[in-house]
Copies of this chain bind each other. A is one copy, B any other.
Amino acid sequence: MLPERQFIESIRRLAGKGGNRSIVRGIGDDCAILQVPGGSQLLVTTDLCIEGIHFRREWHSATSVGHRCLARGLSDIAAMGGEPIACFLSLGVPGQLPKKWADEFLHGMLRLARRFAASLAGGDTSSAKRITADIVVLGSIPAGGAVLRSGARVGDCIYVSGELGGSAAVLQSLDRGKKISPAASQRYFYPEPRVKVGRWLRQRGSATAMIDLSDGLSVDLAHICQESGISAVIDERAIPIAKGANLESALHGGEDYELLFTTRPGAKLPPKIAGVPVTMIGEIEPKSPTASRLRIRDGSGHLRLLKSEGWQHFVKRQPHFVKK
């Protein structure tokens, strides 16, 4: 048996049988076969994770990299209000990568996959200069029920789940060689996709628009504004800032994987959904005649423009942890 085949066989064993009942046939044929539940539509999301861009082997354990790669996709499913069904892994690895690293990566990924019933149903492998993982997550949603980015209307309230800026603060500490608290470390290295929060909001018809906070509040809120054709104003004092973070990282730091959503004016939300606090941070306004769509109100009530400054791979300024 040749090495690539061996590696695929080991993935096949680890992926296990059973799992999500939508998987008619998983790893082992030209394609995976899935039975999408009756009356449902299919959700599909793909996320690239590349060594040196999305993670560093000296900072991120293999288990954390596996968890985080999949968490990004599950968070996208959460942001539509969907249920995960299956995941697919395309993995390129350097020839000299220790088998232990690959095994722990798979372990981190599959542990999270099992918790969300997202069976690993296929993928591809290749050699590569740097570790490269592309993870596809499929989910289902009752037909017509997905919460889109484009549903926000003038007067809607803007909410976020959890606390913001924690991931950016941890990255900054890693970059400066500072100690990280166990709680912050857990949230950063093993983020929890807000699938239950997204499902709750979709089932009750509470959210008019939704997105997950992967690029940072200032970027992701701009996406909602663009797709919905509106503007937004947020209140500086209302933003739930994670312990150890500051306003800057809460506004522009990425990878918090919380949900950002809008509700009809006057809609009542409990203080927590599925155990996660939700906080109103602003409101939707008519589309501004100027180019800028985001404004922020400071402690004394003054409004200023808020620029989108989140994580953008293609700009010269690399994300924090590859800056040096």
**Residues in A lying within 8 Å of B, measured CB to CB:** 2-7, 24-25, 28-36, 41-48, 50, 52-54, 76-77, 79-80, 82, 86, 88, 90-92, 95, 121-130, 132, 134, 136, 138-139, 141, 143, 146, 148-150, 210-212, 227, 308, 312-316, 318
Determine if A314 and B7 form an interchain contact, defined as CB atoms under 8 angstroms apart. Answer: yes
- Contacts A47-B90, A54-B126 given; does A35 touch B41 at CB 8 Å: yes
Task: Give Cα distance in the complex from A79 to B32, angstroms.
Answer: 12
Determine if A88 and B44 form an interchain contact, defined as CB atoms under 8 angstroms apart. Answer: yes
Among A91, A92, A124, A308, the most chain B Cβ lie within 10 Å of the Cβ of A124
Determine if A313 and B127 form an interchain contact, defined as CB atoms under 8 angstroms apart. Answer: yes
Q: Which residues of B contact A35 (CB under 8 A)?
A: 41-42, 143
Determine if A126 and B33 form an interchain contact, defined as CB atoms under 8 angstroms apart. Answer: no
Q: Which partner residue on chain B sits nearest A311 by CB separation? A: B4
Chain copies in complex: 2
Q: Which residues of B contact A227 (CB under 8 A)?
A: 28-29
Which residue in B30, B31, B43 is a CB contact (below 8 Å) of A33?
Answer: B43
Using A3-B315, A28-B149 as known contacts, list a sample of 7 further A-B pairs with CB atoms less than 8 Å apart, ordered by residue number in A: A4-B312, A25-B146, A30-B77, A31-B77, A34-B41, A44-B86, A46-B136
Among A25, A44, A54, A126, the most chain B Cβ lie within 10 Å of the Cβ of A44
Which residue in B30, B138, B315 is a CB contact (below 8 Å) of A212?
Answer: B30
Q: Which partner residue on chain B sits nearest A88 by CB separation? A: B46
CB distance from A25 to the nearest CB of B (A): 7
Q: Which residues of B contact A79 (CB under 8 A)?
A: 30-31
| 10 pairs of A and B residues whose beta carbons are closest in the complex | A3-B314, A134-B134, A4-B314, A30-B79, A31-B43, A30-B76, A34-B42, A31-B45, A90-B134, A48-B126
Determine if B50 and A43 form an interchain contact, defined as CB atoms under 8 angstroms apart. Answer: no
Determine if A4 and B44 form an interchain contact, defined as CB atoms under 8 angstroms apart. Answer: no
10 interchain pairs, CB-CB under 8 A: A7-B314, A30-B212, A31-B43, A31-B82, A33-B146, A36-B36, A44-B86, A50-B132, A53-B126, A54-B126
Task: Give Cα distance in the complex from A71 to B34, angstroms.
Answer: 22
Q: Which partner residue on chain B sits nearest A141 by CB separation? A: B33
Which residue in B33, B48, B123, B316 is a CB contact (below 8 Å) of A125?
Answer: B48
Determine if B124 and A48 form an interchain contact, defined as CB atoms under 8 angstroms apart. Answer: yes
Task: Give Cα distance in the complex from A44 to B41, angstroms.
Answer: 15
